[in-house]
A and B are shown apart, each in its own frame.
Chain A
Amino acid sequence: GDSVTQMEGPVTLSEEAFLTINCTYTATGYPSLFWYVQYPGEGLQLLLKATKADDKGSNKGFEATYRKETTSFHLEKGSVQVSDSAVYFCALTSSGGYQKVTFGTGTKLQVIP
């Protein structure tokens, strides 16, 4: 079945540091890939997405590139802010019909001033 593996957290960074959160996946066919962000006490928000190989999703300074050859979708940001502190979820949906979203286990990011 489909699965998503994320790096274990928590990740603690100083403000303006470079962020990478690793994500790899296993899926049949050609899945769509997503990053969601969950701020404390809130629901998940879609951060960015990519629907085919070599697509780059970007939003709010975050980027991730769909790498089919390495089955990866790593999240990056060049300079994090305290306001980026949240839990980040990598997710996928397989192609075809009504498919559920499969989430990774989440990676907590804490940015300190």
Chain B
Amino acid sequence: DTAVSQTPKYLVTQMGNDKSIKCEQNLGHDTMYWYKQDSKKFLKIMFSYNNKELIINETVPNRFSPKSPDKAHLNLHINSLELGDSAVYFCASSQGNAGQIYGYTFGSGTRLTVV
């Protein structure tokens, strides 16, 4: 069983479209995250939810909207996609703030290409 699973793995779409990426974890963790990795491998946090509550919201265009229907799921919806949104998006989870001590568990990523 995959601990943190993301779908889709690859997403190619045209500029201006709206798309969603889904993330699910079966670890019983209550904190989930979205990270963006650019072409130079730089990782930047976007959002974090704890028990469906938004706790970290970095400076991200409001075209990006996270949604957490329950603590096992954190989805990312992107409106009006732009070329600069092309990147690999990683979902991660941890138990509470124990990520500080035990680290995160990452999904395998969603490669988004905007053409």
Which chain A residues have a beta carbon within 8 Å of chain B's beta carbons?
32, 34, 36, 38, 41-46, 49, 51, 87, 89, 93-95, 97-101, 103, 105-106, 108
Contact = CB atoms under 8 A, between A and B. Distances in A.
B97 interface: yes
Nearest to A44: B106
A93 B99 CA distance: 8
Nearest to B91: A43
Interface residues of B, number: 27
15 contacts: A32-B101, A38-B41, A43-B90, A43-B92, A44-B90, A44-B104, A46-B104, A46-B105, A87-B41, A93-B99, A94-B100, A98-B55, A99-B100, A100-B56, A105-B41
A98 B43 contact: no
B40 A98 contact: no
B45 to A, nearest CB: 5
Given A43-B108, A44-B90, A105-B42, A100 B102 contact: no
Nearest to B45: A100
Contact of A99 (B40, B97, B103): B97
B107 A93 contact: no
B25 interface: no
Contacts of A36: 103, 106
Given A99-B97, A100-B45, A49 B108 contact: no
Given A44-B90, A94-B100, 4 more contacts: A43-B108, A45-B106, A49-B102, A100-B56
